[in-house]
């Protein structure tokens, strides 16, 4: 039988070390809503979401109460809208109408974000894909809860450089369209390489076409728990360090698996995956940077950072995999700048640069995440940064992503304020040499040789 020590260990993790379930994400397929009439399509989408997700928030609250574990977010991911809206939407403005419908549906069921205002264009774009991408700036400006993503590359297809070029312009236009809110729209726009179909985390969540009609995916968290556990093995060897991370990741993931199973059963929706990611928040003691510093770095960004992060990421997976029946999504340590107090401090201290962050993304999920850059940065430079990150994902057969915020009207030394879970970010300098000639080339970068495995 459970003993007092085990009970107090669990409750201490929850009460003082920020252990929580970061998100229960209900994936809803909208493929059966497809219609050539835009009004009819909007009606069907609204109906499907508000019916399927009717009990999501209340079930989440019940689970929180019964198990005494906070579930921070209840969210929805949907089939990429470029596929759903293709038959009805002839212009970018038509797609914006769907965005408004999604926003209303999300508000009705009480979720804070709905992800899947997306296009999958890793090889090439259809007219519908392009219209959706071109509608993103306006869609994110006139809605509150929509999250958007574009998959522009994969190991199998290479990188669609036409889409990369367009996305640089779209990021810039989104920043302009939301400049009254420190370009907040860009915090809800992710450019992916190798995007997973079952990611529960925003802003990059969508429900891939390989998925069921509805599915429950859960994202766990717990950087604070790992940090506290590592405080007890200061000065010890790598073996003990790695064992501690694994054991902690196992415990954290078991909670996620339990919550996923309960939610799935109560909602009558099949369980999909648990995403093992260590997801930080701006709260003190909920930081991935602090774990890296606990491992032995004076500051994140110092030499040794990439190795420490590689170790952390791998041990989290090794511990987590056995704790869940199905693992998926992004599953790795997140290193967003604005959402992690330790990262923000490292930028202020001059330890963490954009280039070091790029190196770090080679060994962990997900990518250049929530990084504020000067508003004057050109669209082609943004495309260049996206292309670099996509190349890392393509060659290493992993998911990478870019969520950059060119903060219009602000420059290096200033701070962008996003509020809530999105936090705030110091504006980081960008290499000022251009890449326009490279970005303006048409077509795509071919898939790497090691993708031909058949």
Q: Are 72 and 23 in contact (CB under 8 A)?
A: yes
Strands 158-160, 367-374: pairing kind: unpaired
Is the Cβ of residue 112 or residue 248 nearer to other proteins in the bound state? 248
Query: Is 154 in contact with 193 (CB distance < 8 Å)?
Result: yes
Comparison of 7 and 349: residue with beta carbon closer to other proteins: 7
Please give the size of the binding site for other proteins, defined by CB under 8 A: 21
CA-to-CA distance for 219 and 21, rounded, in angstroms? Answer: 6
Judged by CB under 8 A, the residue of 42, 148, 257, 361 near other proteins is 257
Report strand pairing: 444-445 vs 271-275: unpaired
Decide: is 243 part of the binding site for other proteins (CB under 8 A).
no
CB of 323 to other proteins, least distance (A): 9
How many residues make up the chain in this entry? 454
Instruction: Report how far residue 148's alpha carbon sits from residue 133's, in angstroms, rounded to the nearest whole number.
Output: 9
C-alpha distances (whole Å) from 268 to each of 26, 166, 199, 215 are 11, 41, 20, 9
Bin 329: left if φ > 0, else alpha if -120 < ψ < 50, else beta.
left
Tokens of 261: 């199973």
Q: For other proteins, what does the binding mask look like between residues 191 and 230, x meaning CB under 8 A? A: ----------------------------------------
Q: Are 156 and 446 contacting, i.e. CB atoms less than 8 angstroms apart?
A: no
Stretch that binds other proteins, among 2-10, 48-56, 378-386, 416-424 (CB under 8 A): 2-10
Site residues for other proteins, 8-37, by CB under 8 A, read 8-11
Cβ-based neighbour number of residue 123 at 10 Å: 16
264 counts as binding other proteins under rule CB under 8 A: no
> Measured between alpha carbons, how far is 444 from 440 in angstroms, rounded to an integer?
11
- Nearer Cβ to other proteins, position 258 or 347? 258
Give dist(CA 256, CA 67) in Å, integer.
Answer: 12
- Per CB under 8 A, 55 contacts other proteins: no
Stretch that binds other proteins, among 25-33, 34-42, 62-70, 228-236 (CB under 8 A): 62-70
**Closest CB to other proteins among 9 and 355?**
9
Site membership for other proteins, residue 349 (CB under 8 A): no
**Pairwise CA distance, residues 151 & 401, whole Å:** 9
- Which of the stretches 3-11, 345-353, 371-379, 425-433 binds other proteins when contact is defined by CB under 8 A? 3-11
Q: How far is the CB of 309 from other proteins (least distance, A)?
A: 26
Angstrom distance (rounded) from CA 40 to CA 33: 9
**Would you count residue 62 as binding other proteins (CB under 8 A)?**
yes
Residue closer to other proteins, measured from CB, 323 or 372: 323
Min dist CB 237 to other proteins, Å, is: 26
Residue 48 interacts with other proteins (CB under 8 A)?
A: no
Going by C-beta distance under 8 Å and a sequence separation of 6 or more, which residues neighbour residue 234?
Answer: 294
Given candidates 31, 32, 47, 68, which one binds other proteins under the rule CB under 8 A?
A: 68
CB of 14 to other proteins, least distance (A): 9
Measured CA to CA, the distance from residue 164 to residue 171 in angstroms comes to: 10
Report d(CA 421, CA 283) in Å as an integer.
9
Binding test (CB under 8 A) with other proteins, winner from 100, 156, 254, 356: 254
Place of tokens 């069907």: 44
Gyration radius from the chain CA atoms: 21
Q: Which is nearer to other proteins, 254 or 356 (CB)?
A: 254
Q: How far is the CB of 416 from other proteins (least distance, A)?
A: 38
Task: Choose the stretch contacting other proteins; rule: CB under 8 A; options: 67-75, 180-188, 346-354, 389-397.
Answer: 67-75
Q: Any contact of residue 255 with other proteins (CB under 8 A)?
A: yes
Q: Which is nearer to other proteins, 65 or 442 (CB)?
A: 65
Of residues 90 and 254, the one with the C-beta less far from other proteins: 254
**Site residues, other proteins (CB under 8 A):** 1-4, 6-11, 62, 65-69, 251, 254-255, 257-258
């Amino acid at each position: 039988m459970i003993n007092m020590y085990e009970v107090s260990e669990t409750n201490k993790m929850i009460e003082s070390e920020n252990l929580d379930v970061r998100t229960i994400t209900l994936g809803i397929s909208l493929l059966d809503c497809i219609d050539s009439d835009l009004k009819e399509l909007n009606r069907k989408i609204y109906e499907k979401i508000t019916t399927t997700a009717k009990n999501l928030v209340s079930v989440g609250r019940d689970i929180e109460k019964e198990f005494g574990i906070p579930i921070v977010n209840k969210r929805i991911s949907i089939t990429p809208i470029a596929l759903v809206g293709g038959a009805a939407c002839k212009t970018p403005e038509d797609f914006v109408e769907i965005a408004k419908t999604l926003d209303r549906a999300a508000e009705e069921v009480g979720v804070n974000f709905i992800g899947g205002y997306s296009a999958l264009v890793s090889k090439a774009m259809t007219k519908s894909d392009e219209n959706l991408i071109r509608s993103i700036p306006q869609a994110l400006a006139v809605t509150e809860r929509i999250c958007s993503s574009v998959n522009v590359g994969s190991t199998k297809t290479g990188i669609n450089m036409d889409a990369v070029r367009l996305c640089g312009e779209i990021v810039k236009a989104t920043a302009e369209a939301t400049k009254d809110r420190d370009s907040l729209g860009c915090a809800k726009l992710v450019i992916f390489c190798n995007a997973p179909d079952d990611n529960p985390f925003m802003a990059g969540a969508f429900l891939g076409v390989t998925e069921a009609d509805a599915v429950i995916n859960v994202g766990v968290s717990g950087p604070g728990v790992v940090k506290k556990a590592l405080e007890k093995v200061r000065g010890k060897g790598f073996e003990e360090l790695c064992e501690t991370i694994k054991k902690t990741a196992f415990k954290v993931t078991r909670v996620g698996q339990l919550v996923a199973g309960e939610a799935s059963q109560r909602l009558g929706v099949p369980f999909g995956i648990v995403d093992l990611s260590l997801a930080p928040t701006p709260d003190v003691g909920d930081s991935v940077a602090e774990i890296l510093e606990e491992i032995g770095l004076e500051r994140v960004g110092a030499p040794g950072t990439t190795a420490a992060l590689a170790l952390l990421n791998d041990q989290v997976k090794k511990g987590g995999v056995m704790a869940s029946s199905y693992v998926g999504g992004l599953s790795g340590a997140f290193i967003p700048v604005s959402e992690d107090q330790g990262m923000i401090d490292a930028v202020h201290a001059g330890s963490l640069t954009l280039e070091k962050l790029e190196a770090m993304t080679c060994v962990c999920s997900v990518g250049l995440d929530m990084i504020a850059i000067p508003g004057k940065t050109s669209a082609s430079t943004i495309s260049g940064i996206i292309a670099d990150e996509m190349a890392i994902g393509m060659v290493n057969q992993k998911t990478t992503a870019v969520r950059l915020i060119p903060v219009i009207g602000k420059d290096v030394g200033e701070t962008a304020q996003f509020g809530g879970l999105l936090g705030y970010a110091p504006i980081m300098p960008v290499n000022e040499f251009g890449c326009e000639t490279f970005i303006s080339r048409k077509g795509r970068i071919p898939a790497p040789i090691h993708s031909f495995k058949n």
